[in-house]
């Protein structure tokens, strides 16, 4: 048996038919050009992220090459591209300042081991159990930190160690601006902001690459003395073996966990986003293994931490990549360029990379995320997380954000909405509305609201609970008794998924939502009362008026959209012939709404085909000729009073209901004769254990169907196939519907049919 987590396994690395493993060459026509596009985007981004992290410039290219080759080969997302990410620049910069570069490399490798263990332990999906608003706020905070840092570099100065220092130092940096650096950086920003407005032929060149190349060429001509990237040797000379920290192991351990968690979350969220864009399907546990392996290799070679990067991945999808070969090839192009053309990199001014990073940082701050958090009530979590990431540090900001998000969830889940509504003009009783999770946490508010209702006032309590514990029920019952002792009535209406009675003796639990139609009034009138009796007082019409009041409060707004299109006319598809019995609700048992059924009700659900009843004939004519219904249903029911009267009449014990009632029974008496003659429907019903009375009801349905075939209006319509006739039997005690045919019966409830 497959394990639950195996559902995310990727059977193939492309969109090829299942079962056919694509070869390297099968998708090369799409993957090769896509890899070149991703390489051109990744090159300047990797250099900029390395500069922002305070790491050696070549560390960014090492991470890009390793991310492409290792994570691309081993990861679980076939279209995701990995490399150094802007989301970890703040963390890495802090680690370099605290531990030095080689210890930071060791932390990166150790974080990769943690990711490997997470992947092997198959907890990939658990890493997604992080509030998205915290992740979005974290990225926005990183974006603000990058902007404050790189503004100093763009102005020709040096960035400070914290965002607050960078913010307070901006006036001085502006005063001492190095004009050439500022103009070059602003030129990069201008090119990137206007790139999307250029012709499509021009935009085939990645914007970051075009901006860096164009402004670097300009700087060689007009500002040769501006500060540029500097390093010695090629990418192979930049390889630096990691070293262990000298003491402060607790801080190093926290750094490992921080890098592992942030890199994992960013990679998995990016993979999920790529799946939505490219139609791929990621194995999240395998993706963690791939990312962890890449970080181990990158850390051991002196590279930056590696994550899945949404910018490069989106570029990969848009460029038409079909498999993981595109990501692998992009890593190889980075490696080849870094080995053969490293000298060209040293021509790039630092201000050019600063301009590139300013745009990257700004893109991490999404106005859409702020609007979403405002609409969903998460603005507080977003704001606090963002401020804490900027003012404190990334780890503390994320922890505070997650804690606040958890508290908000607890508040929303545990909080019950309890309100008292005074009657308008004294015409209606007081209303107390209770909605949400009704637990002991809500008792203070419950008692405050309940005791705001004056003594002696009638009250309707509307309970819409998805969770209800014994303490809450006990408090509500105690108040109900107190209120009734003052001479008032208290009616409890239940609309939620949890039954009030269940909280008395059972362990409280959340119930599955149930779609249930309007219950009878006896279910929400006081216990033991009838529609005409409330706490001992006669209510000749009041129960109906209370029901209308409840309808206006609970259902009218939901019904209104359903009937707006029916204002000018009706177009039902079925004529439903049913007994007048109050226990039979045609719309209920057919899950129908307004305008679906044209209903004809009479004693015994009978049809006349001899022209003796104008009401039945006119209803059939209106349904078939006037409304062109598609079907006619004859529905009988169990314990039918009309069928009882037929049996009693045949046995000489007919009740005295008047001559009109006796004449009406003439339409149903042939059914009794058919029962005695051993009608096939009666035999089938008897075989399933139905009583003689219910057998008669089913036989009666079968005979009424035959009358429809003989009727001058419905007969031709049935014969031509324009109308269909169906027989039903509603078993009141089981609330199930049975199909009645001319020769037998059939269980329509799937569970009963299987049992049968």
Q: How confident is the model at residue 744 (pLDDT cuts 50, 70, 90)?
A: very high
- Specify the 3-state DSSP secondary structure of 632: strand
For residue 505, what pLDDT is reported?
A: 66
**pLDDT mean over 589-608:** 91
Domain boundaries, the chain: 27-388, 415-558, 572-755
The first and second tokens of residue 397, run together, are 């900001």
Task: Give the tens place of pLDDT for each residue, 11-50.
Answer: 344 444 444 555 556 777 778 877 887 887 787 778 888 8
The least confident of 123-132, 529-538, 671-680 is 529-538
For residue 261, what pLDDT is reported?
A: 87
CATH superfamily, domain 415-558, is STAS domain (3.30.750.24)
Segment (H or E) for 331: helix 325-340
Packing angle between helix 350-363 and helix 179-194, nearest 10 degrees? Answer: 40
Rank 363-377, 517-531, 642-656 by mean pLDDT and report only the highest. 363-377
d(CA 30, CA 347): 33
Rank 292-301, 429-438, 462-471, 479-488 by mean pLDDT and report only the highest. 292-301
For residue 288, what pLDDT is reported?
A: 93
Task: Give the tens place of pLDDT for each residue, 461-479.
Answer: 888 887 888 888 888 889 9
d(CA 292, CA 113): 6
d(CA 579, CA 594): 20
d(CA 401, CA 393): 12
Locate the DSSP E strands across 81-142: 82-83
The first and second tokens of residue 203, run together, are 């935009």
For residue 10, what pLDDT is reported?
A: 38
Which of 41-66 are b and which e, b meaning 16 or more Cβ less than 10 Å from the residue's Cβ?
bbbbbbbbbbbbbbbbbbbbbbbbbb
d(CA 203, CA 194): 11
Is the fold of 415-558 the same as that of 572-755? no
pLDDT at 262 over 80: yes
For residue 427, what pLDDT is reported?
A: 55
pLDDT at 716 over 90: yes
pLDDT at 5 over 80: no
**pLDDT mean over 150-177:** 85
- Check residue 374 and report its DSSP letter: H
- Specify the 3-state DSSP secondary structure of 130: coil
Residues 517, 520, 526, 531, Cα dihedral to 10°: 150
For residue 703, what pLDDT is reported?
A: 95
- Check residue 691 and report its DSSP letter: -
For residue 628, what pLDDT is reported?
A: 92
CA proximity to 52, closest of 355, 374, 492: 355
Topology classification of domain 572-755:
Beta-carbonic Anhydrase; Chain A (3.40.1050)
For residue 739, what pLDDT is reported?
A: 95
Which of 665-703 are b and which e, b meaning 16 or more Cβ less than 10 Å from the residue's Cβ?
bebbebbbebbeeebebbebbbeeebeeebbbbbbbbbb
pLDDT at 349 over 70: yes
The first and second tokens of residue 682, run together, are 């009666």
The first and second tokens of residue 627, run together, are 């409304």
User: Do 681 and 698 meet the contact criterion of CB atoms below 8 Å apart?
Assistant: yes
The CA–CA distances, whole Å, from 441 to 472, 699, 722 equal 9, 58, 61
């Amino acid at each position: 048996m497959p394990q639950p987590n195996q559902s995310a396994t990727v059977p193939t690395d492309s969109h090829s038919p299942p079962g056919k493993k694509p070869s390297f060459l099968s998708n090369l026509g799409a993957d090769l050009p896509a890899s070149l596009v991703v390489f051109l985007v990744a090159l300047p981004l990797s250099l900029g992220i390395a500069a922002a992290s305070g790491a050696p410039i070549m560390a960014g290219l090492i991470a890009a090459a390793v991310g492409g080759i290792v994570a691309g080969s081993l990861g679980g997302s076939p279209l995701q591209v990995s490399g150094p990410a802007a989301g970890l620049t703040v963390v890495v910069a802090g680690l370099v300042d605290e531990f030095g570069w080689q210890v930071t490399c060791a932390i990166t490798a150790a974080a990769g081991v943690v990711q490997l263990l997470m992947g092997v332990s198959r907890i990939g999906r658990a890493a997604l159990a992080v509030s998205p608003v915290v992740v979005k706020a974290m990225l926005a905070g990183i974006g603000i930190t990058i902007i404050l840092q790189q503004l100093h570099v763009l102005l020709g100065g040096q960035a400070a160690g914290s965002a607050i220092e960078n913010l307070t130092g901006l006036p001085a940096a502006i005063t001492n601006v190095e004009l050439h650096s500022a103009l070059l950086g602003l030129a990069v920003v201008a090119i990137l902001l206007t790139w999307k407005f250029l012709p499509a032929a021009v935009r085939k060149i990645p914007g970051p690459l075009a901006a860096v190349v164009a402004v670097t060429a300009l700087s060689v001509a007009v500002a040769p003395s501006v500060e540029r990237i500097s390093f010695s040797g090629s990418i192979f000379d930049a390889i630096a073996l990691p070293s262990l920290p000298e003491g402060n192991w607790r801080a190093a351990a926290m750094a490992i966990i921080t890098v592992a968690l942030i890199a994992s979350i960013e990679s998995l969220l990016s993979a999920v986003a790529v799946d939505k864009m490219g139609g791929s399907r990621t194995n999240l546990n395998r993706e963690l293994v791939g990312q962890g392996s890449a970080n181990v290799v990158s850390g051991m070679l002196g590279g930056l931490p590696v994550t899945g990067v949404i910018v490069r991945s989106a570029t990969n999808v848009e460029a038409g990549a079909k498999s993981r070969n595109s990501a692998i090839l992009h890593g190889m192009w980075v490696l080849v360029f870094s080995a053969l053309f490293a000298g060209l990199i040293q021509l790039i001014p630092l201000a050019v990379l600063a301009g590139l990073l300013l745009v990257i940082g700004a893109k991490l701050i999404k106005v859409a995320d702020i609007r979403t958090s405002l609409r969903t009530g998460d603005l507080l979590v977003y704001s606090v997380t963002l401020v804490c990431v900027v003012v404190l540090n990334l780890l503390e900001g994320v922890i505070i954000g997650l804690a606040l998000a958890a508290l908000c969830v607890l508040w929303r889940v545990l909080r019950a909405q309890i309100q008292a509504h005074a009657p308008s003009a004294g015409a209606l009783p007081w209303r107390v509305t209770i909605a949400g999770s009704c637990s002991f946490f809500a008792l203070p508010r419950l008692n405050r609201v309940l005791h705001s209702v004056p003594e002696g006032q009638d009250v309707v309590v509307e309970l819409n609970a998805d969770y209800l514990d014994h303490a809450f029920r006990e408090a509500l019952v105690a108040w109900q008794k107190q209120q009734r002792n003052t001479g008032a009535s208290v009616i409890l209406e239940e609309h939620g998924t949890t039954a009030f009675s269940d909280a008395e003796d059972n362990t409280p639990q959340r119930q599955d939502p149930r779609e249930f139609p309007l219950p009878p009034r006896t279910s929400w009138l006081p216990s033991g009362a009838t529609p005409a009796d409330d706490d001992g007082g006669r209510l000749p019409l009041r129960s109906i008026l209370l029901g209308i009041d409840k309808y206006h409060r609970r259902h009218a707004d939901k019904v209104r959209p359903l009937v707006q299109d029916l204002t000018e006319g009706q177009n039902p598809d079925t004529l439903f012939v049913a007994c007048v019995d109050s226990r039979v609700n045609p719309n209920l048992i057919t899950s129908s709404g307004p305008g679906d059924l044209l209903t004809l009700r009479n004693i015994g659900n009978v049809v006349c085909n001899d022209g003796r009843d104008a009401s039945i004939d006119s209803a059939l004519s209106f349904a078939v000729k006037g409304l062109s219904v598609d079907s006619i249903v004859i529905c009988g029911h169990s314990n039918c009073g009309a069928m009882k009267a037929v049996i009693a009449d045949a046995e000489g014990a007919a009740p005295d209901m008047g001559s009109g009632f006796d004449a009406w029974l003439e339409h149903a008496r042939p059914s009794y004769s058919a029962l005695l003659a051993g009608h096939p429907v009666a035999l089938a019903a008897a075989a399933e254990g139905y009583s003689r009375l219910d057998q008669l009801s089913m036989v009666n349905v079968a005979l009424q169907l035959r009358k429809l075939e003989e009727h001058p209006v419905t007969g031709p319509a049935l014969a031509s196939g324009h109308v269909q006739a169906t027989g039903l039997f509603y078993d009141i005690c089981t609330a199930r519907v049975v199909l009645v045919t001319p020769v037998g019966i059939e269980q329509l409830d799937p569970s009963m049919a299987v049992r049968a």
